[in-house]
Amino acid sequence: MKAYFLILAMFSYIGTLVAQTDGAEPENFIVVIGAFSSEENATRFVKQAKKYKVSPKAELNKIRGLYYVYVLESGDKTSAMIEAERLREETPMKDTWVYNGHLGDVIVRVPVVETPAPQPVVEEVKVVVTEPPPPPPVKTEEEKIKEAVESKKTTLKKGETETLNFIYFYRDAAVLRPESKYEVDRLVRLLNDHPEEKIRIHGHTNGNDKGRIIRLPAGSKDFFSLENTVEDYGSAVKLSELRAQVIHDYLLANGIADKRMSIKAWGGKKPLYKVDDERAEANVRVEIEVLNKD
C-alpha cells in the first residue's frame, strides 16, 4: 500500500530536540527502534529486539516523556542513517528512525567571552566588564510545529474544508505520531469554542492498493503509540476510514459529542497529485469539513 506519512520532508526520520547556541544541529545521531510511554514495555521490547542481533538500550526522552529504545548512538550521521535503513529493510522494525540530539535534558552551551585586560592610563578608569547575553536557543522541530499550529486560525466557517497539515501517522497505520498532538488539541479547542458546529472528518490515502493496516484495538485510548496494536490486511479505503476514525475517537475522548462528528473514507479517490509524483505524500491527509447547523 502506498501510504506515506503526512509529514514534511524536513521531518524525515530526524527530530532535532537539543538546543545549541551556535545554530547548528547537534552532532549526535541515535537510531531509535521504538518509543514507549511505559518503562516496563520499553524494557520488554529491549529483550525482544535482541533476537535481531542488535544491542538495544532504553532511555527516557525527557522532552517527549517517552522511553526510547535505540541500538546505535553516533556522531556520524551517515552511519546512523545506513543502520536505520538496514533495520527497516532486514527486520520487522519498519518504523526505525534517526533522532538528532540527546535524550537527556536540553543542553544550552553559553560561549565564554574573554575580555582583554585594560591598558594603563594616566587617569584611573573604572572598567566594567559585561558578558553578552547568550543567543536564543535553536528551536526544536516540535517547537516549530507547535508554533505553526498555534498561528492557525481560531474560527470555523460553515461549508469550509481544512486540511490538518500537522497530523502525522505511523507507516501503514491508523496510529498518530506524538507530534500530531498539537493539531488534534487545537481541533478540540475549536470545537469547544464553537459548540453549535458539526464536522465531517475525511480520510485520504495515496493510491488504492491493498496492504497491511496497523490499528488500535477496540476501546484503546493510546492514540500516539504502537504498543499493543493490531495488524490487519485491507484496502486503502479501510485505512483512510480508520485514520479518520482515530481522529474522531480522540475528539470523543476529549469531550466532543459523537453526534457532532461523522467520517468519510475516500482511499485514493481524491488525490492532489499523481501517485508517482514527487509531491504524492501530500495525498495522504485528513481534512475537516465544517457542516451547517441542523
Cα 289 to the center of its chain, rounded Å? 23
What is the DSSP secondary-structure string of 89-141?
HHSS-TT-EEEES-SSSPP-PPPP-PPPPPPP-SS-------PPPPPPPPPPH
Of 89-93, 104-108, 223-227, 274-278, the least confident: 104-108
CATH architecture of the domain covering 18-100: 2-Layer Sandwich (3.30)
Please calculate the CA angle 148-151-154 and round it to the nearest 5 degrees. 130
Q: How far apart are CA 230 and CA 224, in angstroms?
A: 14
AA identity, residue 41: N
Q: How far apart are CA 155 and CA 150, in angstroms?
A: 12
Residue 174 reports pLDDT greater than 90: yes
Q: How far apart are CA 29 and CA 47, in angstroms?
A: 22
CATH architecture of the domain covering 153-291: 2-Layer Sandwich (3.30)
Q: How far apart are CA 152 and CA 28, in angstroms?
A: 33
Residue 37 reports pLDDT greater than 90: no
Q: How far apart are CA 221 and CA 218, in angstroms?
A: 9
> pLDDT tens, 90-111?
988 888 988 888 886 543 333 4
Query: For the chain, which residues make up each domain, given as ranges?
Result: 18-100, 153-291
